Amino acid sequence: MISWRGSSPKNNRAGLLSLLVNTQVRITEVAPRDGLQAETAIVATDRKADLVRALNATRVDEIEISSFVSPKWIPQLGDAKELFALIAAEKPAGMIYSALVPNERGLQGALAVNAHARQEHGIERLIDKISVFTAASEGFSLKNTNATIEETLLRFAPVIEQAHHQGLMVRGYISCIIQCPFDGGISPIQVGDVASKLLDLGIDELDLGDTIGAATPETIEPVIMEVIDRLQGDATNPFGDPTLTLHLHDTFGHASECVKMALDLGVRSFDSAAGGLGGCPYASTETSRAPGNISTLQLLNTIAEMGYTTKVDLDAMAAASKIASGLLP
Ligand code: HMG
Ligand code: MG
């Protein structure tokens, strides 16, 4: 287990030594969720299932399959239940499937899917992890969830408790860690304060979202350092996975440089989307559309370039990326 205890991994000899030997990087593929949620065209459920099947073959650690959010807000993912039913029987052993959940209603949707999969296929848990999501900026939180940051956290408390009671892991996203399209610049302390509150609620994994791709290595470094301090040494969660994940969008072409900085600082878990699909609809403004996620192939290249490894099969990921890109007009 990596130890980040101390003010920073760079200043902590034991932590640094552990980081040096830990070269395995965890990959969460978010194309079926983040990749498709902002598209004007609604992709047919069976085509989404084809993408998930292709991603199953890549051996990524986790696939974020869909969201249990209001279909009035995100009609593109209104078929989460049907999609899970289509792919249930084909889930590879050891693969983590996850889904976004904004409130108790969303959790009930995820639990109903698991109950159905148990009944139909004898699967203990089809959805292994739920992701709650808030932001470091009030403007984005209101636009994205019709709630202040504090209100989102109040919603999460019973969701996290029930999810844990059902044996599910919980990821907590913080959006707009660098810049908000509505509120402007965000300070590392703002991100750290939300991170601490999510950790107090008991999340198993913290996921930092550069929602509009504004980060540079210089601006992301203090944010990661601040959050590592808030983690107080918890580099690995009770499920044996890294506690800290980075979720980058690649608007200005700085995502790979940010990955390199994050690897240097000890981050060992990243999100990415096959084909570089994606973007958050509530991060778009009237004049600019929210950009795509860092593409998984680009992320894998950057990780390899830095001398780190993943479990991902590159040929299978190239094939899945082709399918992902083909989903859009
Ligand atoms: P609201 O309108 O304030 O909620 O939305 P409400 O409680 O008044 O409910 C409105 C309607 O939605 C009601 O239906 C509810 O029943 C229904 P009606 O009575 O009008 O027929 N409803 C639901 N239906 C299905 N599932 C649910 C659910 N909840 C309520 N879970 C709410 C509040 C949070 C629901 C809404 O704002 C919402 O769904 N927001 C989701 C927005 C979203 O998904 N954004 C993208 C994900 S975040 C992201 O992409 C960033 C990330 O990638 C990281 C990064 O890049 O930074 C993660
Ligand atoms: Mg995103």
14 found inside a domain: no
Give the number of whichever ligand sits closest to the CA of residue 144. Answer: 1
For residues 293 and 279, the answer to whether their CB atoms sit within 8 Å is yes
- Phi then psi for residue 132, to 5 deg, are -90, 155
191 found inside a domain: yes
5 found inside a domain: no
181 found inside a domain: yes
223 found inside a domain: yes
19 found inside a domain: no
Tokens of 224: 């990661």
Q: What is the CATH number of the domain that holds 167?
A: 3.20.20.70
Q: For atom 50 of ligand 1, which residue has the closest CA?
A: 280
3-state secondary structure of 157: helix
Please give the distance, rounded to the nearest whole angstrom, from the Cα atom of residue 32 to the centre of ligand 2: 12
Stated as kind and residue range, the H or E segment containing 29 is strand 26-29
How confident is the model at residue 253, as a pLDDT?
A: 87
Q: Please tell me the pTM assigned to this model.
A: 0.94
How confident is the model at residue 17, as a pLDDT?
A: 45
How confident is the model at residue 264, as a pLDDT?
A: 95
How confident is the model at residue 21, as a pLDDT?
A: 62
Instruction: Please spell the DSSP secondary structure of 182-228, one letter per residue.
Output: TTEE--HHHHHHHHHHHHHHT-SEEEEEETTS---HHHHHHHHHHHH
Among this protein's residues, is 280 annotated catalytic?
Answer: yes
Q: At what angle do helices 138-145 and 149-165 cross, to 10 degrees?
A: 60
Per-residue pLDDT reduced to its tens digit, 110-167: 999 999 999 999 999 999 999 999 999 999 999 999 999 999 999 999 999 999 999 9
Give the number of whichever ligand sits closest to the CA of residue 282. Answer: 1
12 found inside a domain: no
How confident is the model at residue 132, as a pLDDT?
A: 98
Boundaries of domain holding 97: 24-325
CA distance 31 to 278: 7
Could you say which of 176, 180, 258, 280 is catalytic? 280
Nearest atom in ligand 1 to the alpha carbon of residue 207 is 54
Q: For atom 6 of ligand 1, which residue has the closest CA?
A: 70
3-state secondary structure of 257: helix
Q: For atom 14 of ligand 1, which residue has the closest CA?
A: 70
Domain count, the chain: 1
Find, among 76, 189, 96, the residue nearest to 137 by Cα.
Answer: 189
For residues 213 and 251, the answer to whether their CB atoms sit within 8 Å is yes
Per-residue pLDDT reduced to its tens digit, 19-54: 556 889 999 999 999 999 988 889 999 999 999 999
CA distance 167 to 30: 22
How confident is the model at residue 234, as a pLDDT?
A: 86
Give the chain's residues under pLDDT 70.
1-21, 279-285, 287-291
How confident is the model at residue 16, as a pLDDT?
A: 44
How confident is the model at residue 233, as a pLDDT?
A: 82
9 found inside a domain: no
Please give the distance, rounded to the nearest whole angstrom, from the Cα atom of residue 212 to the centre of ligand 2: 8
